[in-house]
Each structure stands twice: as structure tokens, then as C-alpha cells.
């Protein structure tokens, strides 16, 4: 009887060793730590214009608008321009730079990547109002300029970058009388 019990114990021990070896062979464990850093972009609007005490219909005024990447990663910029009151837009003319900027919807997109410290070419340089502009619209108005930017990352074009951007992360608003 003892040889039979010994054989059974040896068989159990052998199968237990084989199972643990197979389990060790079929499993794997590894650990890796990746350090990631979040990029940032700080853009501002650069406005150059001489003070205009009281704009008049039929006149042209100098006003240069640029996007400036002050700090951080390369970026792409877009600007939205609007009049307040909105009715003034029908009488106003802005000389948009259509060679370096492209309009899509309500935004003007700067076509080139803006490296840190760089400025875009001006979106426009003059604003004029037709001679038949109602004077009451010119008494108190604003020309709003809103700049948004997104990291350029590995995108080859502004369209690709903006298609994948979260536009709420970097927003800069500016307004002025002209």
C-alpha cells in the first residue's frame, strides 16, 4: 500500500510543479513610467493705431492687427472681427490680408505656423466707412478683435491643427473704439 500512496503523492507533486511552471510561463508582468509635460501657448493681439477722437463717415483710419506668440510652443492663430453695433458692418470696409490669412466661417486663419516670439503678418491695416454711414452709428461703436490660438504640434497645416484643437484653452479678447 505504501508504494501506491508514494506514487500518487509523486504524481500530485509533479502535476503541481508543472502547473505552476506553465502558469509562470503563460503570464508576464512589466512596469514602465512615462513622464509627460503639457505644452502651453500664450498669444496676444498687437494693435497699432493712432487715437481717433471722433471717427467720421467717408474716412479711412489706420489700424493694424497682428497675432503674437509670446511664450510656449509653436502655434496656429485665428482672429474674429466684428462691429458693435452690427449695423455698422454694412458701411465699414476692412482691407483684409488675403494672401497670408484665409477666411473660413467667421474666423480669419493665419496660414503659417507661429514660432515662440514671432508675430503674424497684419490681418488688416485700415478700416474705412462709406460716406452714407449714419452719423449716429459712428457716435459710439466698437470694433471687436478676438484672437484664439492652438498648439501646432505635429500638424502640417492650420486646418489640421484646428480640426483637432480644443479652442477654449487659450482665448484672448480685445476691444476698442476703433
Give the C-alpha separation, 152 to 167, whole Å. 13
The answer to whether residue 178 scores a pLDDT higher than 60 is no
Three cell numbers written together for 175: 476691444
Kindly state whether residue 4 falls inside one of the protein's structural domains: no
Structural domain harbouring 142: 41-176
Q: Using alpha carbons, select from 75, 160, 60, 149 the residue that is nearest to residue 107.
A: 149
pLDDT tens-place string over residues 73-105: 999 999 999 999 999 999 999 999 999 999 999
Kindly state whether residue 29 falls inside one of the protein's structural domains: no
pLDDT tier for residue 10 given thresholds of 50, 70 and 90: low
Kindly state whether residue 34 falls inside one of the protein's structural domains: no
Give the C-alpha separation, 126 to 113, whole Å. 24
Give the C-alpha separation, 126 to 142, whole Å. 15
Kindly state whether residue 15 falls inside one of the protein's structural domains: no
Which pLDDT does position 25 carry in this prediction? 53
Kindly state whether residue 21 falls inside one of the protein's structural domains: no
| CATH code (residue 143) | 2.60.40.10
Three cell numbers written together for 23: 502558469
Kindly state whether residue 144 falls inside one of the protein's structural domains: yes
pTM to 2 decimal places: 0.72
Which pLDDT does position 28 carry in this prediction? 57
Return the higher-pLDDT residue of 35 and 103. Answer: 103
Return the higher-pLDDT residue of 139 and 60. Answer: 60
pLDDT tier for residue 41 given thresholds of 50, 70 and 90: confident
State the average pLDDT over residues 10-22: 61
pLDDT tier for residue 110 given thresholds of 50, 70 and 90: very high
Count of the separate structural domains present in the chain: 1
Kindly state whether residue 132 falls inside one of the protein's structural domains: yes
Which pLDDT does position 132 carry in this prediction? 93
Kindly state whether residue 33 falls inside one of the protein's structural domains: no
State the average pLDDT over residues 20-42: 63
Range with the largest mean pLDDT of 12-16, 31-35, 92-96: 92-96
CB 41 within 8 A of CB 151: yes
- Render the burial of 38-77: b for 16+ CB within 10 Å, e for the rest: eeebebbbbeebeeeeebeeeeeeebebbbbbeeebbbbb
State the average pLDDT over residues 114-134: 95
State the average pLDDT over residues 147-154: 90
Amino acid at each position: 500500500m505504501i508504494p501506491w500512496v508514494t506514487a500518487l503523492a509523486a504524481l500530485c507533486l509533479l502535476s503541481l510543479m508543472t502547473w505552476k511552471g506553465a502558469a509562470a510561463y503563460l503570464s508576464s508582468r512589466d512596469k514602465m513610467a512615462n513622464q509627460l509635460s503639457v505644452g502651453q501657448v500664450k498669444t496676444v493681439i498687437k494693435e497699432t493705431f493712432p487715437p481717433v477722437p471722433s471717427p467720421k463717415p467717408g474716412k479711412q483710419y489706420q489700424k493694424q492687427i497682428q497675432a503674437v506668440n509670446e511664450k510656449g510652443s509653436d502655434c496656429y492663430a485665428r482672429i474674429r472681427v466684428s462691429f458693435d453695433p452690427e449695423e455698422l458692418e454694412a458701411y465699414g470696409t476692412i482691407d483684409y490680408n488675403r494672401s497670408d490669412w484665409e477666411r473660413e466661417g467667421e474666423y480669419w486663419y493665419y496660414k503659417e505656423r507661429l514660432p515662440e516670439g514671432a508675430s503674424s503678418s497684419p490681418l488688416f491695416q485700415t478700416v474705412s466707412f462709406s460716406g452714407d454711414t449714419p452719423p449716429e452709428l459712428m457716435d459710439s461703436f466698437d470694433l471687436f478683435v478676438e484672437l484664439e490660438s492652438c498648439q501646432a504640434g505635429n500638424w502640417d497645416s492650420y486646418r489640421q491643427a484646428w480640426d483637432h484643437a480644443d479652442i477654449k484653452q487659450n482665448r484672448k479678447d480685445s476691444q476698442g473704439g476703433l
